[in-house]
């Protein structure tokens, strides 16, 4: 194993110290000495620091066309591509193109999310730390002179979970279904280098009137409906959230524990039907005495659009603090029309989807984002709020999309298809829900292998810096502690 061994001598004699220094030097590690328990605890805490795990882009890898003529047809599902950004802030980067086939009787939903996979390069580049990136999607059909644009969403690097811009497109009857050209462009802060952009494509059979379901009769704002009690004592499962939307950990209502370092986000998902929304609460008990630590809790719809206001709270040393998010709209099909203006209408439109909703926990450390830091532990409670109501059976696709094609790609389901027809064999929602206990147990076991303890101190696995192993050996009248970390390349 290509490991660097860091050694700590606790009240060891000269011979033992020489051996430990030799081991550390030979493996590229460091040696530290401790004469009392306080020094030992401080040394182990410092060695237990890690850099946050970066976002892991997912979906079928594609290259977008250089112009509308070279773009290929995409089908329904998840995609990822690389796109360069603007050289000047508030301008646009080099665009990419693809095509869609939107048959009569269908509505298209396309989301685009620009992500930062580096964890350090962008956050700490000159003038960085507060960079904002966005991606826009525009559609045009020359046959009927119809255009469309996505809503605007930006992401502050290292300070929040990535947010998608969403294009919703209902074609005119006169449009040629196969003549849709879509242009994708990165915007925001000046950063010309390529970054991953994730795309989600869905083609919804437009529902007949008898399948639309009821209007939204919930109250929001100061008059909002009561929400379930988030302070109940649920059994705590040690389940790590995923590092991206594609790797989000599926959970059921309950409480889950995890840990974060500055600039890191953990993402969970929970299936929601019409009339159900996720409500969540994250509780932190801060270990670090560092300032500039803010816990953030967000909710996103199946297209990865933020579905409500971000809730945040500053962390205090050795004090329990919590962030509660109960402000998302209930998913109701009639929300797709939007009511009101501004952000309230945008949030309501974002609550017009069923399927996997996302719950994101982020630790914003300001200038410390992306740097090696002590973990902050949290407990996340997530519940379903609301009763199931009537609505269309279509949901946002979750599988990777088919390979791009020179020929139009048909929708996954017809207008009269059922939800069972829509789901693929390996992503059946009912079986996924029935196996959730096994999945949670597997995630819990995986998490158990990622962290251990020495004298009650967290010993996280290296994520970017790799596995940390604690070895306790009695030497003479002292104690030797060796900590190994996989070398970075």
CA 48 to chain centre: 24
- Structure tokens belonging to residue 32: 């530290």
Q: What is the pLDDT of residue 190?
A: 80
Dump pLDDT digits (tens) for 93-115: 899 999 999 999 999 999 999 98
294-300 and 451-454 strand pairing: unpaired
Its CATH class, for the domain covering 60-211+412-427, is: mainly beta
CB neighbour burial string for 293-311, b if at least 16 within 10 angstroms, e if fewer:
bbbbbbbbbbbbbbbbebb
**Beta partners for residue 320, in sequence order:** 285
Dump pLDDT digits (tens) for 295-326: 999 999 999 998 877 788 888 766 678 888 88
Nearest to 275 by CA among 381, 203, 353: 353
CA distances from 361 to 241, 266, 376, 410, 453 (A): 9, 5, 12, 37, 23
195-205 and 77-83 strand pairing: antiparallel
How far is residue 70's CA from residue 186's CA, in Å, rounded to a whole number? 19
Helices (H), 14-71: 14-27, 37-47
Q: What is the pLDDT of residue 105?
A: 93
Q: Is 135 helix (H, G, I), strand (E, B) or coil?
A: strand
How far is residue 329's CA from residue 352's CA, in Å, rounded to a whole number? 9
Answer whether 47's CB lies under 8 Å from 465's CB. no
CB neighbour burial string for 241-277, b if at least 16 within 10 angstroms, e if fewer:
bbbbbbebbbbbebbbbbbbbbbbbbbbbbbbbbbbb
Helices (H), 332-422: 342-350, 419-422
Q: Is 98 helix (H, G, I), strand (E, B) or coil?
A: strand
DSSP for residue 152:
P
Nearest to 321 by CA among 364, 279, 286: 286
Q: What is the pLDDT of residue 219?
A: 74
Q: What is the pLDDT of residue 435?
A: 37
Rg (alpha carbons) of the chain, rounded to whole number:
25
Hey, where are the domains in the chain? 3-48+449-486, 60-211+412-427, 221-389+435-445
- Structure tokens belonging to residue 346: 């945008």
Q: What is the pLDDT of residue 440?
A: 41
Answer whether 6's CB lies under 8 Å from 483's CB. yes
Model confidence, pTM: 0.78
264-272 and 249-250 strand pairing: parallel
On the question of a common fold for 60-211+412-427 and 221-389+435-445, the answer reads: yes
Answer whether 393's CB lies under 8 Å from 422's CB. yes
Q: Which helix or strand (DSSP H or E) is residue 442 part of?
A: helix 436-450
- Name the architecture of domain 221-389+435-445: Sandwich (2.60)
Over its length of 489 residues, how does the chain's per-residue pLDDT go in tens digits?
A: 456 677 888 888 888 889 988 988 888 778 888 888 888 877 776 677 788 888 899 999 999 999 999 999 999 999 999 999 888 877 888 999 999 999 999 999 999 999 876 665 655 565 545 677 889 999 999 999 999 999 877 777 768 889 899 999 999 999 999 999 999 999 888 888 899 999 999 999 998 888 888 887 777 765 667 778 887 678 999 999 999 999 999 999 999 999 998 889 999 999 999 999 999 999 987 665 556 788 999 999 999 998 877 788 888 766 678 888 888 889 999 887 654 444 455 667 888 999 999 999 999 888 788 888 888 889 999 999 999 999 999 999 999 999 999 999 999 987 644 333 333 333 333 333 333 334 344 334 333 333 333 333 333 333 333 333 444 444 444 445 555 544 444
Angle at 33 between CA 27 and CA 34, to 5 degrees: 140
Q: Which residue has the tokens 């964890």?
A: 119
DSSP for residue 214:
-
């Amino acid at each position: 194993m290509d490991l660097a061994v860091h050694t700590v001598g606790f009240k060891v004699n000269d011979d033992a110290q020489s051996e430990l220094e030799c081991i550390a030097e030979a493996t590229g590690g460091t040696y530290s000495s401790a004469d009392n328990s306080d020094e030992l605890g401080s040394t182990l805490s410092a060695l237990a620091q890690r850099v946050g795990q970066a976002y892991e882009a997912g979906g079928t890898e594609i290259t977008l066309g250089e112009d509308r003529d070279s773009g290929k047809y995409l089908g329904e599902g998840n995609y990822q591509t690389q796109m360069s950004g603007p050289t000047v802030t508030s301008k646009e980067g080099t665009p990419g193109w693809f095509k869609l086939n939107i048959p009569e009787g269908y509505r298209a939903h396309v989301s685009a999310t620009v992500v930062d996979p580096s964890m350090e390069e962008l956050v700490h580049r000159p003038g960085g730390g507060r960079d904002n990136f966005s991606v826009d999607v525009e559609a045009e059909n020359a046959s009927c002179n119809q255009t469309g644009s996505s809503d605007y969403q930006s992401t502050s690097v290292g300070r929040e979970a990535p947010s998608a811009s969403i294009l919703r497109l209902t074609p005119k009857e006169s449009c040629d279904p196969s003549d849709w050209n879509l242009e994708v462009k990165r915007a925001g802060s000046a950063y010309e280098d390529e970054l991953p952009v994730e795309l989600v494509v869905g083609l919804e059979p437009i529902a007949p009137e008898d399948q639309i379901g009821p209007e939204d009769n919930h109250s929001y704002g100061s008059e909002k409906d009561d929400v379930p009690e988030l302070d109940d004592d649920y059994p705590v499962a040690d389940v790590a959230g995923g590092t991206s939307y594609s790797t989000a950990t599926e959970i059921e209502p309950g409480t889950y524990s995890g840990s974060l370092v500055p600039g890191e986000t953990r993402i969970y998902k929970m299936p929601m039907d019409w009339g159900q929304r996720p409500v969540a609460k994250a509780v932190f008990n801060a270990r670090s005495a560092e300032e500039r630590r803010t816990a953030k809790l967000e909710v996103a719809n199946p297209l990865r659009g933020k579905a409500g206001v971000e809730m945040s709270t500053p962390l205090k040393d050795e004090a329990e603090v919590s962030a509660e998010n109960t402000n998302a709209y209930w998913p109701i099909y009639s929300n797709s029309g939007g009511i009101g203006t501004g952000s309230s209408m945008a949030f309501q439109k974002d609550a017009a989807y069923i399927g996997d909703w996302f719950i994101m926990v982020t630790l914003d450390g300001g200038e410390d984002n992306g740097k090696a830091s002590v973990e902050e532990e949290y407990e996340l409670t997530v519940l379903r709020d609301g009763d199931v109501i009537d609505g269309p059976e279509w949901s946002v696709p979750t599988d990777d999309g088919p390979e791009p094609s020179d020929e139009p790609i048909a929708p996954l389901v017809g207008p009269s298809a059922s939800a069972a027809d829509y789901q693929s064999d390996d992503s059946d929602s009912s079986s996924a829900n029935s196996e959730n206990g096994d999945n949670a147990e597997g995630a819990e076991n995986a998490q158990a292998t990622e962290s251990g303890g020495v004298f009650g101190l967290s010993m996280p696995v290296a994520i970017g810096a790799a596995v940390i192993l604690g070895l306790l050996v009695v030497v003479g009248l002292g104690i030797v502690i060796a900590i190994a970390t996989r070398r970075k390349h």
